[in-house]
């Protein structure tokens, strides 16, 4: 009987300096899966896991451990090993984002899909990955676990949507050309906003970033002039004082509603800007408080998500258990069909006098009798399989109907 | 029959009002239950109005209490256009308690039963009462959108950490929807009032306080639209909409007795 085994490590068990040594790019992951037979390798920045299906669990587990320790011997101490139902449940939780560093993060679902596509799954592994992807999609559709932002830059973009709604066509001014403002800009860009200006103290770096975003590079002194065309201002310079004060903003904005995101420490933007009518200023502490709150919300949604994943895991369990009785059911049905056809052949002399319509009716009636007789035993065997009696029932059916005996004779 | 239908309507609107309070505290199941309360309650009220229309020989909502019943139906119907969408659920917090209270007031005045008769012609009532009520329903919705705007703006100004956990429509969306609703409602009020004035002049009747208050309401909402066309928007526009709504309430509740007599 085919069994599922999982061997892997994740951010729960191994620090990044260990994880990075067993991290595989998609080609390497695909090659490793192929080497292991019926297998899928899921390798992300937070985990490297091998899902293997084999008749011999011990052997499959040993081969998976060897494959990972070949990459880095030290990883053996940080490996977890799960089997069958536990392994499937783990994969469902991973796909739902419940095992992620940030609960509900959306990237993992795509990574599970990619791993499935580049692996070498057979019937069982294919089913478990498809059901995991279904569980992941269901969790995201039916809970709010992935709705709220999980980073400061994503929170800044979500705040802009709270003020302006659809960000398509909204103009952003970046003040400072550091990594953090670039991240915030990318988040705003992904929601449809346009990076209009990049203001920086050094023209080179500002120009480079502006070119990347298709924006205009301007000197810091010109920010005030461009406020009349802006909707969102993201600032993260290393200037010791304010780069924008409230009177400048009030003069320049010409009544426009403006959102200011101040990611700098010390702060770039005069806190008095927030007091202006139609102006909203959020600094790094405000954004971190929002992220902390949304993460708490994600954790509370995680309980609902766990319940959904448990339902999917149970469905998978039922399916896997039914595999124990499927051969017996198939043999039983084949035997019944064989008897039906044989009896029809014996009655050929009588049936020969029937016209085509009558003959079809006899075929149909006998097929229905067989189906109705076998329906309840089939259902009962599948039910028994779920409660671990499947093998006993399957053996009983084989014995009672003499299935396989003719082959032996 | 009409009496029997009143209670499910009140119960469902009441459930929706309570549900929206629950939604404001913790988004999720309470909001979904409230939304279903609104939908089913509105269907039940539609049936109630249908029974009234079937039993009456003429326009059944010609009394002030009857027109209040129709007004509630129009307000909830207008709310249903967006209200069932998740970000707009909190709009129900402004609309549904008001709808439930006005329904009770309508019943107290006999507006949810059958057998009342008006001495006005059907065509006049349909045009005058119908148009004015459609306009007032629009103003009520615009006021609810404006109330939600003020609430959302206050959350942004307070920098509430929960602002993304309990999302509401954006300020820009609320402002735009309020403006559009008034742009639709004001012409309806203008037409409804014109029909009433034409009849008043023809019959040589006197101007009563309700007519004066209705003109004042028209003037405030017209000023709102003119100001918006000149760039007046945001929080101040929202407060002006609320002021206009106070007049709507005065016209609907405080002054109608003499006008409908």
Choice between A262 and A405, residue whose per-residue pLDDT is larger: A262
Answer yes or no: is pLDDT of A369 > 80: yes
Reported confidence tier of residue B149, pLDDT bands at 50, 70, 90: very high
Across all residues in chain B, what is the average pLDDT? Answer: 84
Please report the sign of the dihedral spanned by the C-alpha atoms of residue B3, residue B9, residue B11, residue B14. Answer: negative
Reported confidence tier of residue A71, pLDDT bands at 50, 70, 90: very high
Query: Phi and psi (nearest 5°) for A264?
Result: -90, 150
Give the distance, in angstroms, between the CA of residue A269 and the centroid of all CA atoms in the same chain.
39
Reported confidence tier of residue A252, pLDDT bands at 50, 70, 90: confident
CATH code assigned to A152-277: 3.40.50.720
Where do the structural domains in chain B lie, given as residue ranges? 1-116, 120-261
Of A155, A158, A165, the CB nearest to B172: A165
Continuous H helices in B109-163: 122-158
User: Rounded to an integer, what distance in angstroms lies between the CA atom of residue B181 and that of residue B183?
Assistant: 5
Please state the rounded mean pLDDT for residues B100-116: 79
Q: Are the Cβ atoms of A290 and B152 closer than 8 angstroms?
A: no
Of A163, A278, A290, the CB nearest to B164: A290
Residues of A in contact with B164 (CB under 8 A): 148-149, 155, 158-159, 162, 290, 293-294
Count CB-CB contacts under 10 A for residue B123.
Answer: 10
Please state the rounded mean pLDDT for residues A283-302: 88
Give me the residues paired with residue A50 across strands. A7, A41
Predicted local confidence at residue B179, as pLDDT: 94
Answer yes or no: is pLDDT of B236 > 60: yes
Please state the rounded mean pLDDT for residues A167-191: 89
Ranges A77-86, A211-220, B54-63, B178-187: which has the least confidence: B54-63
Please state the rounded mean pLDDT for residues A133-147: 87
Answer yes or no: is pLDDT of A391 > 80: no
Closest CA to B72 of B104, B36, B114: B104
Answer yes or no: is pLDDT of B138 > 50: yes
Please state the rounded mean pLDDT for residues A137-152: 83
User: Rounded to an integer, what distance in angstroms lies between the CA atom of residue B137 and that of residue B69?
Assistant: 12
Q: Are the Cβ atoms of B161 and A274 closer than 8 angstroms?
A: no
Give the distance, in angstroms, between the CA of residue A166 and the centroid of all CA atoms in the same chain.
26
Query: Phi and psi (nearest 5°) for A402?
Result: 60, 35
Q: For A324-365, how does the pLDDT look when each residue is reduced to its tens digit (9 = 90+)?
A: 778 788 888 888 998 998 888 888 777 767 778 888 888 899
- The structure tokens listed for A96 are 């739902």
Of B156, B164, B173, the CB nearest to A155: B164
**Does the CB of A155 have a partner CB in chain B at under 8 Å?**
yes
Q: What is the DSSP string of A292-312?
A: HHHHHHHHHHHHHHHHHHHHH
Environment class of A240 (CB within 10 Å of its CB; exposed 0-12, middle 13-18, buried 19+): exposed
Please state the rounded mean pLDDT for residues B61-70: 78
In the set A45, A203, A307, A400, the catalytic residue is A45
Query: At a CB cut-off of 8 Å and minimum separation 6, what does A239 contact?
Result: A201, A220, A264, A266, A268
Dmax of chain A from CA atoms? Answer: 107
User: Rounded to an integer, what distance in angstroms lies between the CA atom of residue A106 and that of residue A312?
Assistant: 19
Instruction: Tell whether ipTM is more than 0.90.
Output: no
Please state the rounded mean pLDDT for residues B178-203: 90
Ranges A44-53, A109-118, A353-362, B229-238: which has the least confidence: A353-362
Choice between A250 and A386, residue whose per-residue pLDDT is larger: A250
Choice between A102 and A51, residue whose per-residue pLDDT is larger: A51
Predicted local confidence at residue A409, as pLDDT: 46
List the 161-190 stretch of A: residues with Cβ below 8 A of B. Answer: 161-165
- The structure tokens listed for B197 are 């004035």
Query: Phi and psi (nearest 5°) for A130?
Result: -65, -40
Min Cα–Cα distance to chain A from B182, Å: 20
Of B162, B169, B234, the CB nearest to A278: B234
Global model pTM greater than 0.90? no
Answer yes or no: is pLDDT of A266 > 50: yes
Choice between A147 and B196, residue whose per-residue pLDDT is larger: B196
Ranges A196-200, B178-182, B194-198, B250-254: which has the least confidence: B250-254
Please state the rounded mean pLDDT for residues A254-259: 88
Between CA B48 and CA B59, with CA B54 as vertex, the angle to 5 degrees is 90
User: Rounded to an integer, what distance in angstroms lies between the CA atom of residue A407 and that of residue A118?
Assistant: 40
Q: Are the Cβ atoms of A278 and B156 closer than 8 angstroms?
A: no
Closest CA to A5 of A30, A39, A42: A39
Predicted local confidence at residue A89, as pLDDT: 94
Predicted local confidence at residue B117, as pLDDT: 58
**Does the CB of B26 have a partner CB in chain A at under 8 Å?**
no
Q: Which CATH architecture has domain A3-142?
A: 2-Layer Sandwich (3.30)
Answer yes or no: is pLDDT of B206 > 60: yes
Ranges A148-157, B53-62, B143-152, B252-261: which has the least confidence: B252-261
Residue of chain B whose Cα is closest to the Cα of A290: B161
User: Rounded to an integer, what distance in angstroms lies between the CA atom of residue A391 and that of residue A398?
Assistant: 10
The angle, 0 to 180 degrees and rounded to 10, between the axes of the packed helices A123-142 and A84-95 is: 40
Q: Label residues B92-115 b or e (16+ Cβ within 10 Å = b).
A: bbbbbbbbbebbbbbbebebbbbe
Environment class of A130 (CB within 10 Å of its CB; exposed 0-12, middle 13-18, buried 19+): middle
The angle, 0 to 180 degrees and rounded to 10, between the axes of the packed helices B122-158 and B235-249 is: 140
Predicted local confidence at residue A105, as pLDDT: 81
Between CA B114 and CA B119, with CA B117 as vertex, the angle to 5 degrees is 165
**Does the CB of A276 have a partner CB in chain B at under 8 Å?**
no
């Amino acid at each position: 009987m085919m069994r599922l085994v999982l061997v892997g490590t994740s951010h729960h068990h191994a620090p990044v300096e260990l994880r990075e040594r067993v991290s595989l790019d998609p080609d390497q992951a695909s090659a490793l899966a192929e080497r292991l037979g019926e297998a899928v390798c899921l390798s992300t920045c937070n985990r490297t896991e091998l899902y293997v299906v084999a008749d011999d669990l011990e052997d499959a587990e040993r081969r998976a451990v060897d494959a990972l320790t070949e990459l880095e011997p030290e990883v053996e101490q940080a490996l977890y090993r799960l089997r069958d139902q536990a392994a499937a449940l783990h994969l469902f939780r991973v796909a739902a984002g419940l095992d992620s560093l940030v609960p509900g993060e959306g990237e993992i679902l795509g990574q599970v899909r990619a791993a499935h596509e580049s692996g070498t799954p057979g019937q069982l592994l294919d089913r478990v990955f498809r059901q995991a992807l279904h569980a992941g999609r269901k969790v995201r559709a039916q809970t709010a676990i992935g709705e709220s932002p999980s980073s400061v830059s994503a929170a800044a973009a979500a705040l802009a949507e709270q003020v302006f709604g659809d960000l398509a066509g909204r103009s952003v001014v970046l003040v400072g050309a550091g990594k953090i403002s670039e991240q915030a800009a990318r988040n705003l860009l992904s929601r449809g906003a346009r990076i209009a200006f990049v203001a920086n103290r050094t023209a080179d770096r500002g120009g480079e970033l502006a070119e990347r975003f298709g924006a205009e590079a301007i000197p810091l002194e010109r920010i005030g002039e461009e406020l009349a065309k802006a909707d969102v201002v993201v600032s993260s310079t290393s200037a010791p004082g304010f780069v924008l004060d409230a009177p400048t903003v009030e003069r320049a904005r010409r009544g426009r509603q403006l959102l200011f995101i101040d990611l700098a420490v010390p702060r770039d933007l005069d806190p008095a800007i927030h007091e202006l009518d139609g102006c909203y200023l959020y600094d790094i502490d405000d954004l971190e408080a929002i992220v902390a709150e949304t993460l708490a919300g994600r954790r509370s949604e995680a309980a609902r998500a766990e319940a959904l994943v448990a339902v999917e895991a149970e469905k998978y369990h039922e399916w896997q258990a039914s595999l124990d009785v499927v051969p017996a059911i198939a043999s039983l049905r084949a035997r019944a069909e064989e008897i039906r056809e044989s009896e029809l052949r014996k009655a050929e002399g009588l049936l020969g006098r029937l016209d085509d319509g009558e003959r079809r009716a006899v075929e149909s009636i006998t097929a229905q009798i067989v189906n109705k007789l076998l329906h309840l035993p089939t259902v009962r065997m599948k039910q028994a399989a779920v409660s671990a009696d499947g093998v006993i029932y399957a053996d009983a059916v084989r014995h009672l109907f003499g299935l396989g005996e003719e082959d032996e004779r | 029959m009409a009496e029997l239908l009143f209670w499910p309507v009140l119960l469902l609107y009441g459930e929706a009002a309570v549900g929206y309070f629950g939604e404001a505290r913790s988004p999720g199941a309470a909001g979904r239950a409230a939304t279903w309360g609104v939908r089913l309650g509105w269907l039940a009220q539609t049936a109630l109005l249908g029974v009234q229309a079937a039993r009456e020989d003429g326009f059944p909502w010609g009394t002030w209490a009857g027109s209040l019943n129709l007004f509630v139906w129009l307000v909830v119907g207008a709310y249903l256009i967006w209200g069932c969408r998740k970000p707009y659920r909190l709009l129900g917090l402004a609309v549904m308690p008001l709808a439930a209270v006005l329904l009770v007031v309508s019943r107290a005045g006999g507006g949810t039963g059958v057998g009342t008769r008006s001495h006005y012609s059907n065509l006049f009532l349909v045009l005058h009462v119908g148009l004015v009520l459609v306009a007032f329903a629009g103003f009520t919705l615009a006021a609810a959108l404006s109330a939600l705007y003020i609430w959302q703006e206050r959350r942004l100004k307070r920098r509430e950490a929960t602002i993304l956990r309990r999302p509401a429509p954006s300020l820009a969306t609320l402002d735009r929807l309020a403006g559009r609703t008034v742009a639709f409602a004001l012409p309806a009020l203008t037409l409804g009032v014109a029909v009433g004035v034409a009849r008043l002049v023809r019959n040589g009747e006197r101007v009563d306080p309700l007519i004066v208050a209705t003109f004042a309401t028209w003037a405030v909402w017209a000023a709102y639209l003119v100001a918006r066309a000149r760039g007046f928007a945001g929080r101040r526009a929202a407060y002006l909409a609320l002021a206009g709504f106070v007049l709507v309430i005065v016209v609907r509740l405080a002054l109608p007795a003499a006008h409908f007599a």
